[in-house]
Amino acid sequence: MCVNNFNMNVIDEVIKASEELFLEDDVENGVLEQLKDLWITKLKNANDEGHSANGTDIIVKSVLSQLDGNETDSDDSNASSSSSNEMSVAEEEEAEQLDDTEESLNSDDDLSEENLEDTDNVVICQYNKITRNRSRWTLELKNGVMTLDNKEFIFNQARGYTTW
Amino acid sequence: MSYQLYRNTTLGHTLQESLDELIQYGQITPQLACKVLLQFDKSINQTLATRVRSRLTFKAGKLNTYRFCDNVWTFMLNDVEFREVQEIIKIDKVKIVACDGKNVEGEGPSKK
């Protein structure tokens, strides 16, 4: 099922079921329609930002250029941050030798854990079975919505393999 | 009570933003917005379970981190290749959030 169809399906169902809720709450006529319009408009804007042509199923795409770009970016930032760490440590050591004072380790030196999990490529799903054999993991997933490279995909079943 | 985790998708975010706008203009109450979101949880869980048929596989070069807390798995994968039939998508960093799929509809915990 195409992602666009899936989205419209969910939207239609939600709007239909909300009719009663809106009536119960004595909401003005037309607000429900407004909700639907707002929702669809925002969805379109989100998709356009992802520069996807038309939300079809998984498209064959050469992401090598993007992949390379991402890799160089992350490599550069890693290299520069590690070299700056090394430099500051070296500077501190020099200061110690010169001043005979000790620089204690601070919690500022810790790598923030939040940055490690920061990515726009997310898979929201349910798991059937997660298994591990030594360091080899098998992930059996279902009912997933994925946002990869600003494009949306959906799946009923997915199976993945990876190594820790 | 259906899982609330799908609120964290584009579809979910856009709905929440739309509802927030209507609340701002005083056209609906926050309580009504809450009920709509609960309906959204139901509808998306149902549609995913019944109307979607695609299967895919993926292979990741590295499992960077894993976490299992409150029956929710969170994985960070690097160098991932998603494959559906003949089509391939390569992504260098992916986060997977997965709720327990065995307890569905009424038994599972609500999870944002």
Q: Smallest Cβ distance to A124: which of B5, B49, B102? A: B5
| B81 min Cα distance to partner chain A (Å) | 9
CA distance B12 to B111: 13
Kindly tell me if the per-residue pLDDT of A131 is higher than 90. Answer: yes
Determine whether the interchain pair A6/B66 forms a contact, defined as Cβ–Cβ distance below 8 Å.
Answer: no
**pLDDT at residue A99, as a whole number:** 53
Task: Give the confidence band of A3 by pLDDT, cuts at 50, 70, 90.
Answer: confident
The residue of A4, A116, A143 whose CB has the most chain B CBs within 10 angstroms, and thus the best one to mutate to test that interface, is A143
Q: Smallest Cβ distance to A121: which of B53, B68, B95? A: B95
CA distance B21 to A160: 39
Q: Smallest Cβ distance to A125: which of B13, B15, B98? A: B98
Kindly tell me if the per-residue pLDDT of A77 is higher than 70. Answer: no
CA distance B74 to B94: 11
Determine whether the interchain pair A28/B27 forms a contact, defined as Cβ–Cβ distance below 8 Å.
Answer: yes
Q: At A4, list the tokens.
A: 């666009």
| A8 min Cα distance to partner chain B (Å) | 10
Determine whether the interchain pair B47/A10 forms a contact, defined as Cβ–Cβ distance below 8 Å.
Answer: yes
**Cβ partners under 8 Å of residue B111, min gap 6:** B3, B4, B5, B70, B72, B99
Q: State mean pLDDT over A90-112.
A: 64
Taking contacts as CB-CB distances below 8 angstroms, the residues of chain A near B11 are: 7, 10-11, 43, 145
Taking contacts as CB-CB distances below 8 angstroms, the residues of chain A near B69 are: none
Q: What count of other Cβ atoms lies within 10 Å of the Cβ of residue A2?
A: 13
Query: For the ranges A33-42, A117-126, A132-141, which has the lowest average pLDDT?
Result: A117-126
Q: What does the angle CA B102 – CA B105 – CA B110 come to, to the nearest 5 degrees?
A: 90
Closest alpha carbon to B42 in A158, A18, A153, A141: A18
Query: For the ranges A141-150, B61-70, B101-110, which has the lowest average pLDDT?
Result: B101-110
pLDDT in tens, B54-95: 999 999 999 999 999 999 999 999 999 999 888 899 999 999
pLDDT in tens, A46-67: 887 765 444 333 444 444 444 4
Determine whether the interchain pair B57/A159 forms a contact, defined as Cβ–Cβ distance below 8 Å.
Answer: yes
**pLDDT at residue A116, as a whole number:** 67
| A80 min Cα distance to partner chain B (Å) | 20
CA distance A67 to B92: 7
Nearest CA in chain A to B53: A156
Q: Is the pTM of this model over 0.90?
A: no
Q: Smallest Cβ distance to B52: which of A22, A123, A155? A: A155
Taking contacts as CB-CB distances below 8 angstroms, the residues of chain A near B15 are: 14, 39
Asked if A32 and B60 count as a contact pair (C-beta separation under 8 A), the reply is no
Kindly tell me if the per-residue pLDDT of A70 is higher than 90. Answer: no
